[in-house]
Structure 1
Amino acid sequence: MPSQSFISFDGVSKSYDGVHSVVEGLDLDVARGEFVSLLGPSGSGKTTTLMMLAGFESPTRGEIRLNGKRLDDKPPHQRDIGMVFQNYALFPHMTIAENVAFPLSVRKISRSEQKARVARALDMVEMPHLAARRPAQLSGGQQQRVALARALVFEPSVVLMDEPLGALDKRLRESMQYEIMRLHRELSLTIVYVTHDQNEALTMSDRVAVFSDGRIQQAATPTELYENAANAFVANFVGENNGLTGRVAASAGEWATLRLADGTLIGGRAGTGLHEGGEAMLALRPERAHIATAANAAADAARGAGELNVVHALVQELVYCGDHHRVHLKLAHGESVVVKVPNTQHHDLPALGHTAAVTWRRDDCKVLPALSSRVAVTSGDDTAFSPSSSASPLIAGAN
């Protein structure tokens, strides 16, 4: 949590029917100048949270404060908040300069001041030469830059972005990510950013709040989320994860041991809430696992047997991905595992149809209580995952 709160959600809930909550008991603080992303699947409550902060929705319970002052009784145009939408929301009959000037005109800013601010805002997004054009004459990336300039032109305290890059192709999206990051850094902007794209959130944010079922599952830095997920949902949703399921054989202090369905024992860092005999999942990133070969056998031995996990699995598929190969394997009891093998001359690939030993360090994985119910963990639809399912436990976020 930030040391000094600039934006504060205190016990905020939102219900449309008085029975079911879209957002429930939300506590979140954002520091001045911080870039915080709200990440989650469709229907998780992230956009509703943003709309309550913007003033387009009202909380059913709780308080939202900006710089210590309650926002509940202020309409959107009085909240000193800029907004960038996915569909740009530009006026087609206005020039680019007129679109950018619109927030200033509704605030009764003088013509001369409007002209100066518009010029400055268009310079920020490197588009002063397009001021006389209309939105239909611009590309999608250019229109999004205009929308960003319009959100910044009246120098708001906070800029809110609701999946602003969702309509752009991959190249433009990556270019705009760096543009937004540059403006955040140079202008010391406070940004709250909604996305369902994990890579986007990890790349751009100071902190990420992961939503599911109207609640924040974990709010932390991108590194902390990826390396030290608080629960199985976060481990499965953020990035790519091999979720090996079983029952807790032992849990003491920092470490826990999981017994797989075939009796194999594997260990990792212990998450909270584990108890012996309970269902659990070992979260393992594909790049942290290795296919045992003669070349790395010596290195594995040097680490010590107690530091390594070993499972044997059948090689089912080899996928070439340019900078790495994806090796898909199946364990004897039916669960799948994926290993990313760097594409170098020093890495041998196993043969299809052969059994290979998959190894990884126990401090490179974490044992977490299993998901108690079917929870949507894919990015962009409502597909559900159950840890008891026979389907592959590799979830979401393929890189």
Structure 2
Amino acid sequence: MSKSYDGVHSVVEDLNLDVRRGEFLSLLGPSGSGKTTTLMMLAGFETPTQGEIRLDGKRLDDKPPHQRDIGMVFQNYALFPHLTIAENVAFPLSVRRVSRAEQKVRVKRALEMIELPHLANRRPAQLSGGQQQRVALARALVFEPSVVLMDEPLGALDKRLRETMQYEIMRLHRELSLTVVYVTHDQAEALTMSDRVAVFSDGRIQQAATPSELYENAQNAFVANFVGENNGLTGRVVSANGEWATLALSDGSVIRGRCEQGLRAGDDAMLALRPERAHIAGADSTHADEHSNVVQARVEELVYCGDHHRVHLKLGSRDSLVVKVPNTQRHALPAAGSTIEIAWRHDDCKILAMMAPKSAPAIAPTTPPSPSLISTAPAGAN
């Protein structure tokens, strides 16, 4: 499936993705990456330029939004200010010509589900942001859709309320066995809530996998840098044998790690290393062994973060490195300006090709086990 507004530049390109029944799939990416356009095509507010969408095996992209059996939750809630909460929730049922008696039963059940039955006669302006978001959820679920689409639904909430609503949505997904496609640019939110995450960049899926697979085994440099915090140390590949590679860093250090397929000796590459996977060699009686990389670095700054300290380091004149040190009395902190050894295990880092997202080939997302509820296919696919 592809989408272009001018016939030249693709906003979404060759999207090929399956969503299984009951799955919580997040579309994650920076602004302009194509994730919201993809959601709008699923909802019917945008039409694919090429390709097709199928819901439970039936063609969907030729149907208007109200005939797609899909619920939609928007970032700005989109509640009708002149209607009561009960009337807002009942609106999708009235459009579908559900009887008034059935509407009353379903609205009552939906408001109980979000724990707001006592607010049925209030209007949206009389509710808090979190309460309005719950009403928007109830409205999307009241007609029992096959799929619920959510477009950054928590973006307007403060941090604490946002976290509360994350767990509320996760509870509803679990209890109602919902199929959810969720758009966000917040990688922590995607990792927390999702069964699977599709990472978008420049209209293409760079990788689609479980949260742990994305974090632990990024397929390219964009995913490694976008999902979670990453130390992106640069260098040149000395040797590569398919599973492992050796990389010479800019300061002359030579390290070993898991590697991206297709890397060859002489390629420019990036070492992906999470800050919590590195440690100060010798601290707390922890020593590097034959399975560890060891580099020397100069301590630039120590930052207190409550449950941990961030140690900012410099390797040579170009690369920077951050190490997270747990805030316990057993971990001695180095002095700013000192030179120390930093170590990490070979299998805790990955060596990835240096490439811009635009030039990266589309990475086929992992296909979930059948049955798939939603399928998108590029032009010409059967």
Smaller-chain TM-score bracket: over 0.9
Distance 1:266 1:29 in 2: 38
Deviation at 1:271, TM superposition (A): 1.1
Q: Secondary structure at the match of 2:270?
A: strand
- Aligned pair partner of 2:247 in 233, 258, 261: 258
Distance 1:355 1:113 in 2: 72
Distance 1:71 1:164 in 2: 24
Question: Is the 1:40–1:196 contact (alpha carbons within 8 Å) kept by the matching residues of 2?
Answer: yes
> Match of 1:342?
326
Q: Runs of 4+ in structure 1 displaced over 4 angstroms? A: none
Deviation at 1:152, TM superposition (A): 0.3
Larger relative contact order (Cα-Cα within 8 Å, sequence gap ≥ 6): 2
Residues 97 and 14 of structure 1, relative CA distance in 2, 3 Å threshold: same
Distance 1:286 1:255 in 2: 21
Q: Over residues 230-271 of structure 1, what are the superposed CA-to-partner deviations in whole Å (9 max), with x where a residue is unaligned?
A: 000000000000001000001014210100122210111111
Question: What one-letter code is carried by the residue in structure 1 that aligns with 2:328?
Answer: T
- Aligned pair partner of 1:63 in 52, 55, 74: 52
Q: Over residues 80-114 of structure 1, what are the superposed CA-to-partner deviations in whole Å (9 max), with x where a residue is unaligned?
A: 00000000000011110000000001111111100
TM-score, normalised on structure 1? 0.89
Segments of structure 2 that go 5 or more residues without pairing to the other structure are 360-382
Map 1:109-120 to 2 at 5 A: 109-120=98-109
- Aligned pair partner of 1:361 in 322, 325, 345: 345
- Aligned pair partner of 1:36 in 6, 21, 25: 25
- Aligned pair partner of 1:18 in 7, 32, 35: 7
Distance 2:228 2:68 in 1: 35
Deviation at 1:294, TM superposition (A): 4.8
Distance 2:240 2:61 in 1: 46
- Aligned pair partner of 2:153 in 159, 164, 167: 164
> Match of 2:287?
300
TM-score, normalised on structure 2? 0.92
Distance 2:320 2:259 in 1: 22
Question: Is the 2:242–2:263 contact (alpha carbons within 8 Å) kept by the matching residues of 1?
Answer: no
Matched, 1:213 2:208: no
Matched, 1:289 2:269: no
Segments of structure 1 that go 5 or more residues without pairing to the other structure are 1-11, 376-399
Question: What one-letter code is carried by the residue in structure 2 that aligns with 1:281?
Answer: M
> Match of 1:397?
none
Distance 1:194 1:245 in 2: 31
Distance 2:296 2:88 in 1: 61
Deviation at 1:300, TM superposition (A): 2.3
Deviation at 1:59, TM superposition (A): 0.3
Question: What one-letter code is carried by the residue in structure 1 that aligns with 2:29?
Answer: G
> Match of 2:257?
268
> Match of 1:226?
215
The size of the alignment, in residue pairs, is 359
Question: What one-letter code is carried by the residue in structure 2 that aligns with 1:293?
Answer: G
Residues 228 and 73 of structure 1, relative CA distance in 2, 3 Å threshold: same
> Match of 1:245?
234
Matched, 1:100 2:84: no
Question: Is the 2:42–2:61 contact (alpha carbons within 8 Å) kept by the matching residues of 1?
Answer: no
Distance 1:26 1:374 in 2: 15
Question: Is the 1:290–1:339 contact (alpha carbons within 8 Å) kept by the matching residues of 2?
Answer: yes
Question: Is the 1:293–1:348 contact (alpha carbons within 8 Å) kept by the matching residues of 2?
Answer: no
Residues 214 and 260 of structure 1, relative CA distance in 2, 3 Å threshold: same
Deviation at 1:295, TM superposition (A): 2.7
Deviates further, 13-22 or 314-323: 314-323
Distance 2:92 2:14 in 1: 33
Identity of aligned residues (%): 80
Deviation at 1:374, TM superposition (A): 8.0
Question: Is the 1:13–1:21 contact (alpha carbons within 8 Å) kept by the matching residues of 2?
Answer: yes
Deviation at 1:55, TM superposition (A): 0.2
Deviation at 1:291, TM superposition (A): 1.2
Question: Is the 1:300–1:308 contact (alpha carbons within 8 Å) kept by the matching residues of 2?
Answer: no
Distance 2:262 2:325 in 1: 33
Residues 75 and 374 of structure 1, relative CA distance in 2, 3 Å threshold: closer
For the aligned residue pairs, the C-alpha RMSD in angstroms reads: 1.1
Distance 1:340 1:240 in 2: 11
Question: What one-letter code is carried by the residue in structure 1 that aligns with 2:342?
Answer: V
Deviation at 1:332, TM superposition (A): 1.1
Residues 372 and 316 of structure 1, relative CA distance in 2, 3 Å threshold: same
Distance 1:88 1:15 in 2: 28
Question: What one-letter code is carried by the residue in structure 2 that aligns with 1:23?
Answer: V
